[in-house]
Amino acid sequence: MAPIRLRHPKGVSTIQVDLDSFSIQDLQQAILAASEIPPSLQDLKIGYPPRTLAVIPELPLESLGLKAGDQLIVSQKPGAAPTQAATQSSAPAARVLSHNAALGNASVPRIPPASSSSGPDYVETENGTLVHRIVPDDNSCLFSSIALVFHQNISKAQEMRKIVADAIRADMITYSEVILGQAVIGISQLQETLTVFSIYSHPRDEYISTILKPSAWGGAIELSIFAKYFSTEIASIDVETGRIDHFTPPPETESGNRCVVIYSGIHYDAASLAPTPDAPADFHQTVFPIISNSDDDPILKAGKDLASILRAKRAYTNTATFDLKCQVCGQGLKGEKEARAHATQTGHTQFGEY
């Protein structure tokens, strides 16, 4: 018997199959036992990008080319009456997929139906659903998003900060005081206060010390460090404009893979691909092979469509034009530029958004 890893709407299972003597029907029965999805409704995919397996129950299992340790992704086909057990476990996903089935396999923005309006936004593609993975508004959003992408665990955000600090310490040329000797902007979502950390005497040491604090934000410098550290391009998609900024690793370490983060002006989130919008986190893929740097790349196209959905909801902040008030002296200011200037002139570092 050989182990096959199974990802399905109820979780992750390992089933045992006989690769030499089982039929595909035997595999389907084993999947039924683990997922409660009847054979007639099983949609089986394998690999990345996930490709659908041609399932003919009477054929021997070896015709699928499975190997011990392979992983199958199982979802429920739309448009058919599920069993009672399947209805209880995955009805929301089935309704969404059935509603969109007539739209074909193109990347199609879909705002979740009213019954799941509290859930994340998503875009359907031919290889799955690109889901907006929302992380907490706690000043560590960039680090949490990167931890989610590369470790599937946002609690590792502080470890991501240490990666940045170590990289800056190790490369005094790339991360010189000229590059780092600037104000570091952070906005506390919990206190609704904009804090300007002004760096004067020792920009390099101060930057390292500041970036290790949970209150400090990350931005372009940190994204470039993460791209190099993980040998993976990071595509940052701006919600307000739809612009994509590509942070790429050095050519000698480039892996040919890409991940996506969504930037709202004051917040970063991640994006991941799943079989259905409400699939468990274990089903989500967060790193994708690079196809192109244009809409020919299905993940980039879906990411831009996802940004369009968020833009329509005005889920972004224009930091160049938003209205601020100095919490120390009461002066009204417009945008990040005036906040920086005011902090430099007065030493005041606490601002609230009107």
- Predicted confidence (pLDDT) at residue 168 exceeds the cutoff of 80: yes
Q: Are 123 and 299 in contact (CB under 8 A)?
A: no
CATH number of the domain at 162, please. Answer: 3.90.70.80
Pair 159, 278 in one domain: yes
CB 123 within 8 A of CB 305: yes
User: Which of 22, 53, 76 represents a domain boundary (last residue)?
Assistant: 76
pLDDT interval class at 98 (50, 70, 90): very low
161 in Cβ contact with 143 (< 8 Å): yes
Q: Identify the CATH number of the domain in which residue 11 sits.
A: 3.10.20.90
Closest CA to 249 of 268, 226, 272, 219: 226
Say if residue 87's pLDDT is above 70: no
Quick one: 334 and 292 in the same domain? Answer: no
- Which range is least confidently modeled, 86-95, 124-133, 148-157, 320-329? 86-95
Give the C-alpha distances (Å, rounded to integers) separating 169 from 181, 205, 206, 212: 14, 9, 12, 13
Q: pLDDT class for 85, splitting at 50, 70, 90?
A: very low
Considering the domain architecture, whether residues 349 and 289 belong to the same structural domain is answered as no
**pLDDT of 36 above 80:** yes
254 and 291 assigned to the same domain: yes
The pLDDT mean for the chain works out to 79
On the question of pLDDT at 79 being above 80, the answer is no
Beta-sheet strands, E only, within 31-70: 42-46, 51-52
Predicted pLDDT of residue 350: 65
| pLDDT above 70: residue 325 | yes
CA–CA distances in Å: residue 216 to residues 15, 99, 109, 188, 309: 46, 43, 33, 9, 28
Reply yes or no on whether the pLDDT at 298 is more than 50. Answer: yes
Q: Tokens for 22?
A: 């089982």
The gap from C-alpha 128 to its chain's centroid, in whole angstroms, comes to 14
Q: Are residues 47 and 177 in the same domain?
A: no
Going by pLDDT thresholds of 50, 70 and 90, the confidence category of residue 181 is low
- How many domains are contained in the chain? 3
What are the residue numbers of the active site? Answer: 138, 141, 267, 348
User: pLDDT confidence of 200, banded at 50, 70, 90?
Assistant: very low
Indicate whether 152 and 212 sit together in one domain.
Answer: yes
Q: Which pLDDT score is estimated for 348?
A: 73
Q: Confidence band (pLDDT; 50, 70, 90) for 353?
A: low
pLDDT of res. 169:
94
Cα–Cα–Cα angle for 241, 245, 247, nearest 5°? 165
Cα 27 to Cα 346: distance, rounded to the nearest angstrom: 71
Higher pLDDT pick, 309 / 100: 309
pLDDT for res 38: 87
Please give the radius of gyration of the chain, using alpha carbons only, rounded to the nearest integer.
24
The pLDDT assigned to 354 comes to 58
- Looking at the fold, whether 154 and 291 belong to one and the same domain comes out as yes
Taking only the tens place, the pLDDT of each residue in 258-274 is 999 999 988 999 999 99
> How crowded is the C-beta side of 93, counted as CA atoms within 13 Å?
22
- What is the Cα–Cα distance from 197 to 186, expressed in whole angstroms? 8
Residues spanned by the domain of 345:
323-353
